[in-house]
Amino acid sequence: MIFFINAQMPEKKSGIEHAQIKRINLFKKMKQDARIILRDWNSETHRLTKLVGIEDDDFISMFDYYQEAMHVKRQIIKPADLDFGVPDLKLVSDLDHRRYLAETAEGQLVARINIDLNDDRVLSTELFDGFGNLYRVDQYDYRGFVSLSQWYTPDNQIGTEEWKTPSGRTAIEAFSRQNMRGEMKQSGWKLTTTTGQVYQFDTIEELTKHFFDDLNDEFWSVEEPNIFILDRDHLGDWALLNMEKPAYRVIHLHNSHASDAQNPMKSTLNQHYEYALNSMNRYDAFISATKKQTKDVKARLKPQIKMFTIPVGIVPDQLLNAPRIPVEDRQFGKIVAFARIAWEKHLDDLVRAVAIVHKTVPAVSLDLYGYADGSNNYEAKRLVEQVIKEEHLEDVVKFKGYTTDVDAVENNAMMFGLTSRMEGFNLAVMEGIAHGLISFSYDVNYGPNEIVENDVNGNVVPYGDYEALAGAMIKVLQDPKLAQKYSTGAYDSAERYSDANVWKAWKRLLRDAKASWPAKLAAMPENREVHK
């Protein structure tokens, strides 16, 4: 079995989630059994996975796994269905706050019932004692059962959390205690299995290791190893290295391995990958998304393990074979950018470039698609807004927010802009060229300077030179034949990321995993018992 490890599948997805969705669909198409692993709990997991076409059989949530809740028939629990054990309760509507109040005939508050206004389903209940103190919050799984009960201390902090099975049995518990600064911090975890066996852990990392061991045992085969691919290092780098039995363990680099992507040989290691990179020879393989990063990692760290280059993006055959839209049928001068409005995306530079273009080509416009990063009080968005105001671009540059209707947007636009400080691949640029968009990018590591081919499907300009970026855009806008050449080149270059080509790269890793297995089995201590 192949496992792709992540935290969750949130409503607003990062590149990692989009990469995993494309990857699981590719593996299903190629009839290669695989699962996405979701380590963290979320009451809405099964709604969010279904939204992107991930079925229950496509993933395993660590909490579902121990809560006996991997496959549960959905029911909608509504406020009138709840029983708080108090007679003659009345429900008082408080829909301005998306809730009902459960009160006694005398008006004493027993519970607040938080609901989804779309279907009136219960999301959670807040329970109060006879003195009006909050003592417990029950969180309802999307499928209609109490999944998590949070017990509150007298000073209104969460003391104990209990994750329950649909039948109500407590499977996982987390305990919190005050540290020396008076802050409530998790101090321990407890797992009770279906057979009544109890395990205790100091940290969620130890519980995660136990989970990986259980998965490894459940899908164990002497024919070939289980393959664990860690897409978010902090979720399981220690756990993977300390598993009880062998497996083929892989770290997937989704960003620069160095803190300064433009100085990959000498800058400090990216803190998100530091533990894994310093321990890399204890793994079986590393994956990077570009040839350049693979080369740089090898040159800097000189690993003794295998390095594989596998694009995180995949252009489906349906898109590759879709009708091509000529430049003359697109909105002239429309530039789009799909990116979080965050420091590393440096979108204020893109707006500076557009300001220069606008003086020569007034028809130019820029639409920014993506949600704003809240860091430092939304500093990145404020920087963009500042440039818009200074350059009087209020009618030229628009914030469009997060969208899932990428096809319609990119089939209408003409160009794609990217001014990032660092990247790991950039799915948005890949999708842009697949839609025939002419791309303009800084020469930034890693991804854009490979996906964008200079004078083929757009232009790559020196890193940080927004004036050169503007000049490249103006040249294309003033030359219809050049614009069409680049758009045609974009469509053609997307073939590099077809299902067939990306699958070839994955097959090399799968072959290596199988080839390494006899030696791993031979090295196992004799009579080692199955973890369970």
pLDDT digits (tens, 9 = 90+) for 321-360: 999 999 999 999 999 999 999 999 999 999 999 999 999 9
Q: Is residue 354 part of a domain?
A: yes
End of a domain among 309, 337, 369?
A: 309
Q: Would you state the torsion angle of the CA atoms of residues 230, 173, 200, 189, taken in this order, to the nearest 10 degrees?
A: 60
Burial class (CB in 10 A: 0-12, 13-18, 19+), 321: exposed
Q: Residue 481 has what pLDDT? A: 98
The whole-number pLDDT of residue 529 equals: 53
Instruction: Report yes or no on 173 lying in a domain.
Output: yes
The pLDDT tens digits for 171-187 are: 999 999 988 888 888 89
pLDDT at 527: 53
Contacts of 104 (CB under 8 A, 6+ apart): 86, 88, 89, 90, 110
Full DSSP string of 333-393:
TEEEEES-BSGGG-HHHHHHHHHHHHHH-TT-EEEEESPBP-HHHHHHHHHHHHHHHHTT-
The domain containing residue 109 runs over which residues?
79-204
d(CA 171, CA 68): 9
CA gap 478, 485 in Å, rounded: 13
pLDDT at residue 168 greater than cutoff 90: yes
Encode pLDDT of 120-161 as tens digits: 999 999 999 999 999 999 999 999 999 999 999 998 999 999
Residue 522 lies in a domain: no
184 lies in the same domain as 126: yes
Q: Are residues 62 and 176 in the same domain?
A: no
Range 207-227 average pLDDT = 97
d(CA 9, CA 474): 40
Does the residue 150 lie in any domain? yes
19 and 101 in a single domain? The answer is no
Together in a domain, 430 and 449: yes
Statement to judge: residues 363 and 464 lie in one domain: yes
337 close to 371: Cβ distance less than 8 angstroms: no
In a shared domain, residues 355 and 382: yes
* pLDDT per position as a tens digit, 465-524: 999 999 999 999 999 999 999 999 999 999 999 999 999 999 999 999 999 999 999 998
Q: Rounded to an integer, what distance in angstroms lies between the CA atom of residue 295 and that of residue 272?
A: 20
pLDDT of the residue at 522: 92
Ordered DSSP codes for 9-41: --SS--HHHHHHHHHHHHHHHTT--EEEEE-S-
Residue 232 and residue 5 in contact, taking contact as beta carbons nearer than 8 Å: yes
Give the mean model confidence (pLDDT) for residues 292-321: 95
Report d(CA 191, CA 293) in Å as an integer: 40
Shared domain check, 92 and 6? no
Query: What is d(CA 291, CA 200) in angstroms, rounded to the nearest whole number?
Result: 44
Q: What is the domain count for the chain?
A: 3
In a domain, 394, yes or no: yes
Distance CA 251, CA 361 (A): 46
pLDDT greater than 70 at residue 532: no
Report the half-sphere exposure of 304 (CA within 13 A, side-chain side): 5
Structural domain includes residue 509: no
> 459 and 452 in contact (C-beta within 8 Å)?
yes
* 171 and 163 Cβ atoms separated by less than 8 Å: yes
Q: Which of 13, 517, 27, 14 is nearest to 4 (CA)?
A: 27
Contacts of 370 (CB under 8 A, 6+ apart): 337, 338, 339, 340, 341, 345, 401, 402
Q: Are residues 257 and 193 in the same domain?
A: no
Task: Identify the domain boundary among 160, 187, 204.
Answer: 204
- Do residue 86 and residue 57 come from a single domain? no
Distance CA 440, CA 387 (A): 20
Residue 504 falls inside a structural domain: no
pLDDT at 181: 85
* pLDDT in the model for residue 56: 96
Say yes or no to pLDDT of 107 above 70: yes
End-to-end CA gap in the chain: 18
Provide the CATH number for the domain around residue 490.
3.40.50.2000
> Is the CB of residue 338 less than 8 Å from the CB of residue 430?
no
CB atoms within 10 A of CB 218: 14
Q: Are 1 and 34 in contact (CB under 8 A)?
A: yes
Q: Which of the listed residues 204, 233, 263 is the one where a domain comes to its end?
A: 204
CA 456 to mean position of chain CA atoms: 31
Q: What is the dihedral of CA 199, 200, 202, 204, to 10 degrees?
A: 40
Same domain, yes or no: 362 and 488? yes
* Contact by Cβ (8 Å): 100, 114: no
pLDDT score recorded for residue 184: 85
Query: Can you give the CATH number for the domain in which 122 is found?
Result: 2.20.110
pLDDT of 178: 86
Q: Where are the alpha helices (DSSP H) in 30-109?
A: 45-51, 62-66
Three-state SS at 187: strand
Residues 370 and 474 in one domain: yes
- Token pair listed for 528: 């080692």
Give the closest residue to 404 by CA, choosing from 430, 369, 433, 451: 369
pLDDT tens figures, 58-79: 999 999 999 999 999 999 999 9
Beta strands in 271-333 (DSSP E): 285-288, 306-309
Pairing verdict, β 198-201 and 334-338: unpaired
Taking residues 355-374, report their average pLDDT.
96
Is the Cβ–Cβ distance between 150 and 158 less than 8 Å?
A: yes
> What are the pLDDT digits (tens) for 37-52?
999 999 999 999 999 9
Which amino acid, one-letter code, is at 215? L
8 A C-beta contact, residue 497 and residue 311: yes
Residues 36 and 11 in one domain: yes
For residue 17, what pLDDT band results from cuts at 50, 70 and 90? Answer: very high
- Rounded to the nearest integer, the mean pLDDT of the chain is 95
Q: What is the pLDDT of residue 402?
A: 83
Measured between alpha carbons, how far is 528 from 523 in angstroms, rounded to an integer? 11
Q: Can you tell me which residue has the tokens 């999307």?
A: 142
Q: What is the mean pLDDT of residues 244-267?
A: 95
Report residue 528's pLDDT band, with 50, 70 and 90 as the boundaries: low
Beta bridge partners of 174: 161, 189
The length of the chain, given as a count of residues? 532
- Contact in structure between 69 and 38 (CB atoms under 8 Å): no
The reported pLDDT for the residue numbered 411 is: 97
Alpha helices in 222-306 (DSSP H): 237-241, 274-278, 291-301
Give pTM, 2 decimals.
Answer: 0.91
d(CA 521, CA 395): 65
Q: Quick one: DSSP state of residue 89?
A: -
Q: What is the DSSP letter of 141?
A: P
| Residue 216 falls inside a structural domain | yes
